[in-house]
Amino acid sequence: MTEFIRVAVSLLPVFIFLTALIFFDSYKLVRIFAVIRTIVVGCVVASLCYFLNSHLSNVFSIELKLFTRYVAPLSEELMKAAFVFYLIKTQKVGFMVDSAIYGFAIGAGFAFVENIFYLQSLESTNILVWIIRGFGTAIMHGTTTALFGIISKNMIDRHDVEKLRYFLPGFAAAVIVHSFYNHFLLPPILITISFLVTLPLLTLIIFEHSEKTTRKWLGVGFDTDVELLEVMNSGQISETRIGKYLYSLKTRFPGEIVADMLCLLRIHLELAIRAKGILLARATGFKVTTDPGIDAKFQELKYLEQNIGKTGKSAIVPILHFNSRDLWQLHMLGK
Alpha carbon distance 273, 100 (integer Å): 26
Parse the chain into domains and list their residue ranges.
2-212, 235-334
Report the greatest alpha carbon distance in the chain. 79
What does the pLDDT read at residue 332? 61
The structure's pTM equals 0.69
**What phi, psi does 271 have (nearest 5°)?**
-70, -40
Residue 101, amino acid:
I
Alpha carbon distance 13, 113 (integer Å): 14
CB 70 within 8 A of CB 28: no
Alpha carbon distance 95, 150 (integer Å): 9
Q: Which DSSP category does 253 fall into? A: S
Helix (H, G, I), strand (E, B) or coil at 114: helix
Average pLDDT per run of 10 along the chain, which is 335 residues long? 70 82 69 89 95 90 90 96 93 81 92 85 70 81 91 84 88 94 82 77 72 58 64 69 67 79 82 76 72 78 84 70 57 59
Distance of CA 237 to the CA centre of its chain: 36
Alpha carbon distance 86, 113 (integer Å): 22
